[in-house]
Chain A
Amino acid sequence: MKTSSMGQSKKIVTIITYLALGLGAIIMVFPFLWMILTSSKTVTESMRIPPSIFPAQIMLDNFKDAIASLPFVNMYLNTALMIVFRVIFAVAFSSMAGYAFAKLHFRGKNILFGIVLMQMMLPSQIFIIPQYQMVAKLGMANTIFALVFPGLVSAFGTFFLRQAYMGIPNEIGEAAYLDGCNQWQSFYKVMFPLTSSSVAALTVFTAVFAYGDLMWPLVVNSDLKMMTLSSGLATLRGQFSTNFPVLMAGSLLAMLPMVILYLFFQRQFIEGVAMTGGK
């Protein structure tokens, strides 16, 4: 009797859990579905109140219009280059800095690390004006370099990889010295490979952040051909009216490469998000 009542309450808990999770899933997926549905509607349908959920007929012209109004090939390329360079530089510099902060002894180490932490605590928006001035004075506005510039060094990456290096026992580095390594060899032959899971996490984090970065690309590159997907799409928003179906069609096109990448690297994405505490 007792066992059956216990089994019943367990069932109820399971049902409630699934309902809550299902609701959460719907809330998360809804904007995505709405984007797909809106991308196939007419402008009138997209503005209708009460809203119509399904389009009366699928409007593929929205995709044609989006492709016609934006240089998607350039935008894909710019975004890809920005992501690749930001990831390469963030990983390279953060690894070296993180290793130095974790394993080397030098004067002023704690003060320098404090400055790195301080940079993490400040909102990135306050750096935009000085960074723009630097890029503009270098004559590098409207270039790939301009897109990559603020991501060359990552304070978060430095902090994150410092923690990873601190988790490696000192004896491993010492064994490498005794085996004949110099400082550099010890770093790249022994220590760096041991942080591979953290580096993968930082790669995902940096790539996702760069992909979604809107403000900096919008500020620094005003030439449509040098824009990234996020900043290019932002130009589709008008001051007085917006063609939402075309905007949604463009957004869907912009999302496609990331979705495909996610399908291939799902495990690494989830691990990366879990390790960095990102979202």
Chain B
Amino acid sequence: MASITFKHVEKTYPGNVTVVPDLNLEIQDKEFVILVGPSGCGKSTTLRMIAGLEDITSGELYIGDRVVNDVAPKDRDIAMVFQNYALYPHMTVYKNIAFGLNLKKLPKDEIDKRVHEAAKALDLEHLLNRKPKALSGGQRQRVALGRAMVRNPAVFLLDEPLSNLDAKLRTAMRSEISRLHKRLQTTFVYVTHDQTEAMTMGDRIVVMKDGIIQQNDTPQNLYDFPCNLFVAGFIGSPQMNFLDAVITEQGGTYCVQICGSTIPLSARMDKAALAPYAGKTVVLGIRPEDIDAAPAGAKGHLDAKIEIAELMGAEINLHLDCQGSKLVVRAASTFPGREGDMAALTLDTEKIHLFDKETERAIAH
């Protein structure tokens, strides 16, 4: 059983710098949880607290049923993969992988068996006699994974393990780590600032900012129902469009006024939540793929001028100006409009998100 529980955990560094003020989080056994957030949000500190590499200022951290606040890293039954791999440069791949097992004084043939099994699973068998400097970035990362794997830990901790790899290798390693999780059936805690990694790999994503959990949910829920402006802006690429909008109500039907147009809101939206905001300015959020762009002259909610058209291959990202408001729309690459042209935009009203302008919390989706 390797669940992880944070109970009112605080981390304050000398000089009274509080990085994590009051963390409460539960990670289930065998779950793949992603900690995501911008630099300095406390995600790596949180991971390092699990590893025992950072002391906990107050609160309790459980691994399974055991409070591990004062348990040494080596006794926590965890393994960690670092951003810069942290391989031992003076040891061969074999010795790197076997190092932890040698310290445990396991029998030589058992060590040999485990090292070869891990090497086979990670396609490292032909590299066992090489030193880390003779390996590529992807190979080094696989050695780091192998070193963690052979110990059969209860918890795998991964601290931005793919950020030093090129885009192609990152994609390949992403699926490799996901496969590894399925095969090992162990708890994985993965830290990243890359929201693509977060969305594609985790069972659950914990979005953090300034040491505070903003939202803790499945990738799909996080994408579809962000709880505040920060999460809405952080998850998704290109990021969600935000426009100032005024909510109006006519005979029980709610609409939003943006850029001089009135757009009816979905009947599905929670009217009770909308009622207090009637006549007030809110922030309307809509993702680039939820706006349909048509050539000028077609019928739509808004008319906007194309400022930049970024061809991405299968699709095109249009950067538009709508009466001073900036918008990004994802259109099919066959879209005929180019820079300087006008476009008619139709918003998918089922996919509109509304946020309180002051508290930045979601009003309705």
Chain A residues at the B interface, C-beta cutoff of 8 Å: 169, 171-172, 174-182, 185, 190, 193-194, 196
Question: Is the Cβ of B51 less than 8 Å from the Cβ of A178?
Answer: yes
Question: Is the Cβ of A172 less than 8 Å from the Cβ of B104?
Answer: no
Looking at the assembled complex, report how far the CB atom of A168 sits from the nearest CB atom of chain B, in whole angstroms. 9
Looking at the assembled complex, report how far the CB atom of B128 sits from the nearest CB atom of chain A, in whole angstroms. 18
Question: Is the Cβ of A180 less than 8 Å from the Cβ of B84?
Answer: no
9 further contact pairs, Cβ within 8 A, besides A171-B83, A174-B82, A193-B90: A169-B84, A171-B82, A171-B84, A174-B73, A174-B86, A175-B80, A175-B87, A180-B104, A182-B74
Looking at the assembled complex, report how far the CB atom of B285 sits from the nearest CB atom of chain A, in whole angstroms. 38
Mark contacts of B140-158 with chain A using CB atoms, 8 A cut-off: 1 yes-contact digit, 0 otherwise: 0000000100010000000
Residues of chain B contacted by A179 (CB below 8 angstroms): 74, 99-100, 103, 147, 151
Q: Which of B79, B80, B103 is close to A181, meaning CB atoms less than 8 Å apart? A: B103
Bound CA–CA A30/B86 (angstroms): 51
Residues of chain B contacted by A194 (CB below 8 angstroms): 88-90
Residue in A closest to B151 when the chains form the complex, CB atoms: A179
Question: Is the Cβ of A177 less than 8 Å from the Cβ of B90?
Answer: no
Question: Is the Cβ of A180 less than 8 Å from the Cβ of B74?
Answer: yes
Bound CA–CA A140/B100 (angstroms): 46
Query: Is B78 located at the chain interface by the 8 A CB criterion?
Result: yes
Given contacts A190-B88, A194-B90, A175 and B103 within 8 Å (CB-CB) = no
Residues of chain A contacted by B169 (CB below 8 angstroms): none
**29 A–B pairs (Cβ distance < 8 Å), ordered by A:** A169-B84, A172-B88, A174-B51, A174-B53, A174-B82, A174-B86, A175-B82, A175-B86, A175-B87, A175-B88, A175-B147, A176-B88, A176-B99, A177-B52, A177-B53, A177-B72, A178-B78, A178-B79, A179-B99, A179-B103, A179-B151, A180-B74, A180-B103, A181-B74, A181-B103, A182-B74, A190-B88, A193-B90, A194-B88
Bound CA–CA A145/B15 (angstroms): 47
Looking at the assembled complex, report how far the CB atom of B19 sits from the nearest CB atom of chain A, in whole angstroms. 17
Mark contacts of B86-129 with chain A using CB atoms, 8 A cut-off: 1 yes-contact digit, 0 otherwise: 11111000000001100110000000000000000000000000
Question: Is the Cβ of B73 less than 8 Å from the Cβ of A177?
Answer: yes
Number of chain B interface residues as a range: 20 to 34
Bound CA–CA A181/B88 (angstroms): 13
Residue in A closest to B14 when the chains form the complex, CB atoms: A105
Question: Is the Cβ of A171 less than 8 Å from the Cβ of B104?
Answer: no
Looking at the assembled complex, report how far the CB atom of A241 sits from the nearest CB atom of chain B, in whole angstroms. 57
Q: Which of A171, A181, A196 is close to B86, meaning CB atoms less than 8 Å apart? A: A171
Residues of chain A contacted by B89 (CB below 8 angstroms): 172, 194
Question: Is the Cβ of A178 less than 8 Å from the Cβ of B80?
Answer: yes
Residues of chain B contacted by A180 (CB below 8 angstroms): 74, 100, 103-104
Bound CA–CA A182/B75 (angstroms): 11
Question: Is the Cβ of B103 less than 8 Å from the Cβ of A185?
Answer: yes
Bound CA–CA A27/B105 (angstroms): 60
Question: Is the Cβ of A169 less than 8 Å from the Cβ of B86?
Answer: yes
Bound CA–CA A177/B99 (angstroms): 11
Looking at the assembled complex, report how far the CB atom of B115 sits from the nearest CB atom of chain A, in whole angstroms. 13
Residues of chain B contacted by A182 (CB below 8 angstroms): 74
Bound CA–CA A193/B86 (angstroms): 15
Residue in A closest to B144 when the chains form the complex, CB atoms: A175
Question: Is the Cβ of B90 less than 8 Å from the Cβ of A178?
Answer: no
Bound CA–CA A56/B130 (angstroms): 62
Bound CA–CA A196/B89 (angstroms): 12
Residues of chain A contacted by B79 (CB below 8 angstroms): 178
Residue in B closest to A177 when the chains form the complex, CB atoms: B73
Residues of chain A contacted by B72 (CB below 8 angstroms): 177
Residues of chain A contacted by B100 (CB below 8 angstroms): 178-180
Bound CA–CA A175/B144 (angstroms): 10
Bound CA–CA A169/B74 (angstroms): 19
Bound CA–CA A172/B87 (angstroms): 7
Looking at the assembled complex, report how far the CB atom of A33 sits from the nearest CB atom of chain B, in whole angstroms. 43
Q: Which of B74, B83, B84 is close to A177, meaning CB atoms less than 8 Å apart? A: B74
Residue in B closest to A181 when the chains form the complex, CB atoms: B103
- Closest 9 A/B residue pairs (Cβ): A179-B100, A171-B86, A180-B103, A175-B86, A180-B74, A171-B82, A193-B90, A177-B73, A178-B73
Residues of chain A contacted by B103 (CB below 8 angstroms): 179-181, 185
Bound CA–CA A181/B270 (angstroms): 57
Bound CA–CA A169/B82 (angstroms): 11
Residues of chain A contacted by B87 (CB below 8 angstroms): 175
Instruction: Tell me which residues from 47 to 95 in chain B have a Cβ below 8 Å from any Cβ of chain A.
Output: 51-53, 72-74, 78-80, 82-84, 86-90
Residues of chain A contacted by B74 (CB below 8 angstroms): 177-182
Residue in B closest to A193 when the chains form the complex, CB atoms: B90
Looking at the assembled complex, report how far the CB atom of A197 sits from the nearest CB atom of chain B, in whole angstroms. 11
Looking at the assembled complex, report how far the CB atom of A9 sits from the nearest CB atom of chain B, in whole angstroms. 42
